[in-house]
Each structure stands twice: as C-alpha cells, then as structure tokens.
C-alpha cells in the first residue's frame, strides 16, 4: 500500500463460522491439545470440513495420551462452540476421522537440536511483518474494520442478542476505504454477507446490520446506503461447510494484513512454533510494530528468510516506505538482530510460544489483537522493545 496519494483500498474478513475458519479452528484445537500435554510437541495438522464430515490429517510427535478419540471429541466441541447444529453440519452428527501420523524422521533430523547444533527451522521460506499508523493497533485500516464488524456481529449472536436474531455462524465482510494523501478518511463501500434462517428477508438483515457496521467505524466514516451491500445474492441460508468445503490455511491474507503488505505464502493454523511459517511471521509483526510504536517510522515492512534445519535467518530486510524518521534501514536490521534472537528457539523463548495459546488466533486475524498477560496470548503484539529501539537511535 502506498504511503502517499489518493486511492481506494479494500480488504476482507471472514467469521469463525466460515468453512475455512472452521478448519483453522479445529487445527489449532489439535495443536493446543498437544502443547497442553507437552510444550515441545511437534504438530502439523490439516483439516478438511464439508457436509457433516471432518477429516484431520498431518504429522505429529507428542504424548500418546493425546489419542485420536480425544482429538475427535475436541473437534466436535470446537464445532459446538462455533455454533453449528444444522442439518448439513452439526456438532452432534458430523462424521469425524483422524488420520494424523508420526512426524517424518527426516524432518526431525533437521529440526531437532543435537550436540553443537541448535534447533533448526522447520522448513525453508520467507516471512513478512508489517505495521502502520492507520489504527491505534498499528494495523491497516481496511482489514482492521472488516474484522471488527464481524467480531461484533459474532459477539451479539453468541450473546443471543435480539438485534441479530436469525443470523447464523457463517459470514464475510469487505471494506473499501478512501485514502487522501496516504491516510484513510472514510468508507466508500461495505459488503456483509451473513448466513441466516429461512424466511429472514434481505431488507430486514440490512436494517439490523446498519447500526452495527456504522458503530464499528470512526464517526462519519459510514458509506452511503446505496453502497452498503448485504447478502448481494438475496439469500444465504445454506452456509458453513454444508455450503462450501473448508480447508486449513486458505485465508492467509485475512489472517495477516488484508493485502496491504506482502505475504511469504505459508499458513499458520495447526503448526507448532518450530514451523517458522508461523513463529517467524509473529516475530516479524512484533518487530515491525515496535519500530512504528517507537516512532522510528510510520510504516514498516520486515522480511526474514530461513532454510530447513538451519537455525539462523538467511536474511533480514527492512523497508520503511520512505516514512523513516532519520533511521538507516541497514542499522535498524542490525539493531533488531541484537535485540531479538531470530533463530526458531530464540523466537519461541522470546515470545513464549510453546503454550496452548493458538485457538484464539484462528479467527479475526493473528495481528492487531490485544495481548492477554494472564492467558499468554498474542505476545507478539507487545511493544516492550520500544525503549531499547529509542535508545539505539538516540530518541
């Protein structure tokens, strides 16, 4: 996304009831079950959901006490928590099959620490982090508000609020914002599609959603009524995995920055923190957010790269998009490398990632969330490096 100029930019979000997010939720439920039993478990869990059927597949290394029957039970409870008890997808009646098997010994050989060899990255790849000043959470505004709209609808639905009576778990949003000189100033169009019970009319759904959407945006940002699109097809009764199959990891742009920043390609859910697809992306967001929070730049993109079995990153790259405050990007890369050990082990220990903290990440984005010190979630959203960064640059 450009730092200057006038333009429109759009991002989308999906609810926890979207088929792909149901799959992400179940995969992260499996991950948390293993990490609760052994913080050093290895997990790469993929989930497929479709009409009254769930399939778990992938590789694990962890305690035998985490049995297939237990994981099937947890998957069923995850579906129940999301709110699915429909004819085509029900927590009570869905067939759930577990095909998880032992992690490849060849992969373990490269990842495990041994002798003088530190723990290596779980795979090769490139990861990105991003932060900007468009919201207090230092996230791109279109994605932030797309998430917020759906989270508020979900909270009302879960609380059985009459304002959203008749709405069901599957939903999507899309927010288009107008930028003037690189800063968002208001919405030009908003799309919300939400599953609903039979007989609920499109006009009634639009009426109930208008105040929720308007209150989710800054004052004066709501789009014209003619540009507020609700269930554009006119009807959305068949939804969730009954309406469309879902797979783990298919919403990587929703999970990160809504297209406002690059993405390395790797998904997050179902992967333990030795997989740098996940842990290094969290570390990059953490560093980018601290750079912006420290006032060193208004926008910051970070890229790191890894090779499977190698502990140190192969490269660290910074782009401040011309918004740096007298900050040399080469020096910045050196400074953050001194402040944080970017090996897989260093990331895990710095951000305390070997804990069952991942289910809350499975919907509404992995970034821009509020850290919970008690639960240990979203540690990568802390800004505890700000004092050291300021000191390093004489601020």
pTM, 2 dp? 0.94
Question: Would the annotation count 59 as a binding residue?
Answer: yes
The per-residue pLDDT for 252 is 97
List of residues 6+ apart from 149 with CB closer than 8 A: 13, 173, 175, 190, 192, 212, 213, 216
pLDDT at 116 over 50: no
Residue with tokens 């908003």: 190
pLDDT per position as a tens digit, 49-103: 999 999 999 999 999 999 999 999 999 999 999 999 999 999 999 999 999 999 8
The per-residue pLDDT for 54 is 98
pLDDT at 376 over 60: yes
pLDDT at 357 over 60: yes
Confidence of residue 113 (pLDDT cuts 50, 70, 90): low
The per-residue pLDDT for 5 is 85
Distance separating alpha carbons of residues 25 and 270, to the nearest angstrom: 8
Question: Would the annotation count 46 as a binding residue?
Answer: yes
The per-residue pLDDT for 3 is 72
pLDDT per position as a tens digit, 261-311: 999 989 999 999 999 999 999 999 999 999 999 999 999 999 999 998 888
Question: Would the annotation count 171 as a binding residue?
Answer: yes
Question: Which 3 state secondary structure label does DSSP give 210?
Answer: helix
pLDDT per position as a tens digit, 179-233: 999 999 999 999 999 999 999 999 999 999 999 999 999 999 999 999 999 999 9
What's the rounded mean pLDDT across residues 148-155?
98
Name the residues annotated as catalytic.
Answer: 18, 20-21, 46, 59, 172, 236, 244-245, 250-251, 271, 275, 277
The per-residue pLDDT for 108 is 56
The per-residue pLDDT for 105 is 60
What's the rounded mean pLDDT across residues 115-123?
62
The per-residue pLDDT for 118 is 58
Question: Would the annotation count 281 as a binding residue?
Answer: no
Is 7-14+141-238 in CATH node 1.10.10.10?
no
Which of 30-34, 69-73, 310-314 comes out lowest in average pLDDT? 310-314
The per-residue pLDDT for 4 is 76
Question: Would the annotation count 251 as a binding residue?
Answer: yes
Distance separating alpha carbons of residues 50 and 326, to the nearest angstrom: 53
Both structure tokens of 176: 């288009």
Distance separating alpha carbons of residues 118 and 126, to the nearest angstrom: 20
pLDDT per position as a tens digit, 317-352: 999 999 998 999 999 999 999 999 999 999 999 999
Share of the chain above pLDDT 90, in %: 89
Strand 53-61 and strand 42-50: the pairing is antiparallel
Question: Would the annotation count 162 as a binding residue?
Answer: no
Mean model confidence pLDDT for the chain = 94
Tell me if 190 sits within 8 A of 229, measured CB to CB. yes
Distance separating alpha carbons of residues 45 and 31, to the nearest angstrom: 7
Share of the chain above pLDDT 70, in %: 96
pLDDT per position as a tens digit, 243-264: 999 999 999 999 999 999 999 9
List of residues 6+ apart from 371 with CB closer than 8 A: 377, 378, 379, 381, 382
- The residue extents of the domains of the chain are 7-14+141-238, 125-133+276-392
Distance separating alpha carbons of residues 317 and 322, to the nearest angstrom: 15
What's the rounded mean pLDDT across residues 30-55?
97
Distance separating alpha carbons of residues 347 and 366, to the nearest angstrom: 16
Radius of gyration of the chain (CA): 21
Instruction: Look at residues 7, 11, 87 and name the one whose alpha carbon lies nearest to residue 263.
Output: 11
Is 125-133+276-392 in CATH node 3.30.300.10?
yes
Same fold? 7-14+141-238, 125-133+276-392: yes
What's the rounded mean pLDDT across residues 144-152?
98
């Amino acid at each position: 996304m450009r730092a200057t100029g006038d333009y429109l930019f759009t991002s989308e979000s999906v609810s926890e009831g979207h088929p792909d997010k149901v799959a992400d939720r179940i995969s992260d439920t499996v991950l948390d079950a293993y990490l609760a039993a052994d913080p050093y478990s290895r997990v790469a869990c993929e989930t497929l959901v479709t009409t009254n059927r769930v399939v778990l597949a992938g590789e694990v290394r962890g305690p035998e006490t985490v049995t297939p029957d237990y994981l099937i039970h947890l998957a069923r409870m995850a579906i129940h928590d999301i709110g699915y008890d429909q004819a085509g997808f029900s927590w009570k009646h869905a067939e759930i099959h577990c095909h998880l098997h032992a992690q490849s010994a060849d992969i373990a050989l490269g990842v495990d620490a041994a002798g003088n060899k530190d723990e290596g990255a779980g795979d090769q790849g490139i990861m990105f982090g991003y932060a900007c000043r468009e919201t207090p959470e230092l996230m791109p505004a279109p994605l932030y508000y797309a998430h917020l709209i759906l989270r508020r609808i979900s909270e009302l639905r879960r609380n059985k609020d009459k304002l959203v009576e008749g709405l069901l778990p599957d939903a999507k949003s899309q927010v288009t914002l107008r930028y003037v000189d690189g800063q968002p100033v208001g919405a030009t169009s908003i799309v919300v599609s939400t599953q609903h019970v039979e007989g609920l009319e499109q006009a009634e759904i639009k009426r109930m959603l208008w105040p929720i959407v308007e209150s989710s945006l800054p004052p004066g940002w709501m789009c014209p009524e003619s540009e507020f699109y609700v269930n554009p097809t006119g009807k959305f009764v068949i939804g969730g995995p009954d309406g469309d199959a879902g797979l783990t990891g298919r919403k990587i742009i929703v999970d990160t920055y809504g297209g406002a920043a690059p993405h390395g390609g790797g998904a997050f859910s179902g992967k333990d923190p030795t997989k740098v697809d996940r842990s290094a992306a969290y570390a990059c967001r953490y560093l980018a957010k601290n750079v912006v929070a420290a006032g060193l730049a208004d926008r910051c993109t970070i890229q790191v790269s890894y090779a499977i079995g190698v502990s140190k990153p192969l490269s660290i790259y910074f782009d401040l998009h011309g918004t740096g405050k007298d900050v040399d990007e080469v020096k910045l890369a050196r400074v953050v490398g001194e402040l944080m050990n970017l090996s897989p082990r260093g990331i895990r220990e710095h951000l305390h990632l070997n804990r069952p903290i991942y289910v809350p990440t499975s919907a509404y984005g992995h970034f821009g969330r509020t850290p919970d010190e008690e639960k240990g979630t979203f540690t990568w959203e802390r800004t505890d490096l700000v004092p050291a960064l300021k000191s390093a640059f004489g601020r």
